[in-house]
């Protein structure tokens, strides 16, 4: 059955337009601040194993608690999944968990966009999402021109533009391929990063536009893919803040969600700033980089929020 679902998952990634989305603006706030606090986080969808499925509600609780505690302005999410017959729609659930704890008028708006699968047809889909404390005025779901041919999939860049009283402000949540396929002499992930840096972002920089692009890039800091981002004038917010810190965000293949002693091994999750200067970066740090103590009944256990560690940053918008 699992093999059949995997086949359907990737079959439905071929040939359909990624026009499945859900946009909710719960408040009408306009951005007027002189700084921005941004988070990116890969949520770990539930498709790849029972442990992921069985822990997703607890992991959503961890994420929601940290969002309410830190109240970032914008949250970029990847592997946001939907399994109607198992755990439901994680973005709707996360929205309820967070907004039910916030005062009226302070709720997060959100948009979710499907990348792969189809909840109505195979009972599973996943994509990217963006939460914002300010009104989402415009959005675009951009499907990368080059995607993995060996295991067909669809990778997207989800872009939103916020209501702003000052300069235009745009955010992109993306999840690049983890496949090592080669097309025309380059890895697909490099093509996707190049498209992001050279085609998707430049039009957003007109009129002093500010762009923050983040997500799971599935590639190391000195790879050709990240080199394309840097060549496109992207500033790696964590690296510029902590040049001596590896800032690992991804665990190994045998990662145990319940083991609090797990150590991240590689850095593949990033926040990049375009249209500004390094001097406008206030700070950057890792997000949810420790397992959390949980209670269930009379028992206690440890649990990681994901198999990724997120990245957060605060920047000046002046």
Domain that holds residue 123: 2-316
Which residues are CB-contacts of 247 (< 8 A; sequence separation ≥ 6)? 238, 239, 267, 286, 311
pLDDT in tens, 271-299: 999 999 988 999 999 999 999 999 887 78
Say what the pLDDT of residue 151 is. Answer: 81
Ranges 6-20, 37-51, 123-137, 290-304, most confident: 123-137
**Average pLDDT along the chain:** 92
* Domain total in the chain: 1
Is the predicted pLDDT of residue 181 greater than 90, yes or no? yes
Q: What is the pTM of this model?
A: 0.94
Is the predicted pLDDT of residue 185 greater than 70, yes or no? yes
Residue 206: pLDDT band with limits 50, 70, 90: very high
Q: Do the Cβ atoms of 154 and 9 come closer than 8 Å?
A: no
Q: What six digits make up the tokens of 241?
A: 């803040």
Residue 39: pLDDT band with limits 50, 70, 90: very high
Question: Within a 10 A sphere around the Cβ of 18, how many other Cβ atoms?
Answer: 18
Half-sphere exposure in the Cβ direction for 113 (13 Å, CA): 25
Q: What six digits make up the tokens of 261?
A: 């002693």
Euclidean distance between CA atoms 78 and 86, whole angstroms: 19
Say what the pLDDT of residue 272 is. Answer: 98
| pLDDT cut 90: percent of the chain above it | 83
Nearest CA to 186 out of 219, 233, 154, 221 is that of 219
Residue 47: pLDDT band with limits 50, 70, 90: low
The enclosing domain of 282 has a CATH number of 3.60.10.10
pLDDT in tens, 73-119: 999 999 999 999 989 999 999 999 999 999 999 999 999 999 999 99
Q: What is the DSSP string of 74-94?
A: EEEEEEEEEETTTTEEHHHHH
């Amino acid at each position: 059955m699992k093999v059949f679902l995997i086949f359907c998952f990737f079959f439905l990634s071929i040939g359909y337009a990624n026009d499945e989305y859900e946009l909710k603006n719960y408040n009408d706030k306009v951005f007027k601040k002189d700084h921005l606090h941004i988070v990116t986080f890969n949520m770990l969808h539930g498709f790849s194993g029972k442990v992921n499925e069985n822990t997703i509600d607890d992991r959503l609780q961890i994420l929601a608690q940290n969002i309410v505690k830190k109240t970032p302005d914008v949250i970029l999410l990847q592997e946001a999944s939907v399994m109607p017959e198992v755990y439901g729609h994680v973005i709707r659930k996360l929205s309820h968990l967070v907004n039910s704890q916030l005062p009226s008028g302070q709720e997060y708006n959100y948009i979710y966009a499907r990348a792969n699968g189809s909840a109505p047809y195979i009972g599973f889909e996943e994509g990217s999402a963006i939460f914002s404390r300010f009104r989402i005025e415009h959005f675009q779901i951009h499907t990368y021109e080059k995607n993995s041919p060996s295991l067909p999939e669809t990778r997207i860049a989800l872009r939103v533009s916020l209501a702003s009283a000052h300069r235009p402000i745009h955010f992109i949540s993306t999840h690049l391929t983890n496949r090592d396929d080669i097309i025309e002499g380059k890895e697909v992930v490099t093509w996707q990063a190049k498209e992001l840096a050279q085609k998707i972002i430049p039009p957003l920089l007109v009129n002093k536009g500010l762009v923050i692009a983040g997500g799971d890039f599935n590639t190391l800091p000195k790879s050709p893919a990240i080199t394309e981002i840097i060549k496109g004038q992207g500033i790696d917010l964590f690296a510029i803040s902590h040049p001596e810190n590896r800032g690992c965000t991804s665990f190994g293949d045998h990662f145990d969600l319940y083991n609090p002693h797990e150590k991240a091994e590689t850095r593949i999750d990033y926040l990049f700033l375009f249209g500004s200067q390094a001097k406008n970066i206030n700070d950057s740090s890792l997000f949810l980089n420790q397992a959390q103590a949980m209670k269930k009944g009379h028992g206690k256990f440890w649990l990681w929020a994901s198999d990724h560690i997120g990245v957060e940053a605060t920047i000046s918008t002046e």
